[in-house]
Amino acid sequence: QILVFLAAVAATSLACSCLEQTPEQAFCSADWVARVKINSRTESYPDGSNFYNIQHDAEIVEMFKKPSSLSSLPSSVYGSTICNLCNVDAGKEFLLAGTYYDDKLKFSLC
C-alpha cells in the first residue's frame, strides 16, 4: 500500500513538471497556438480524471497555428486542474498553446 501511495505521489509530481523549451520550440511542438479571450469556465469530472476537466467557453481572438484537420474555430478550450496552475480567469485574454485531440483544443501548464 505504501508503494502504491508513493507511486501516485511521484506520478502527480511528474505530471506538474515540464521540459524547458524556448518560445520557438514550444510553438513548433504545439498543435495550436492562439490568443484566446476566456468568457467562462465549467469544471467536470466525468471519468474521475483531473486531466482536461475544465471547459473554458472562449473566443479565439487570433489563431497563430491551427491543426489542418480543424475546419472551424471552436468556442471552447479545455484545461486541467491537475497542477492547479492552468486556471485562467474569465474576462481576460491569454496566449495559449496545446494539443488537438478528440476534436478539442487542449492546453496545459507546458
φ/ψ (deg, to 5) at 80: -130, 150
The set of cell numbers assigned to 99 is 494539443
Residues contacting residue 20 through CB under 8 Å, at least 6 positions apart: none
DSSP 19: -
Is 16 annotated to bind a ligand? Reply is yes
> In whole angstroms, what separates CA 101 from the centre of its chain?
11
**Distance (Å, whole) CA 84 – CA 99:** 19
Residue stretches of the annotated binding site: 16
Binding residues for Zn(2+): 16
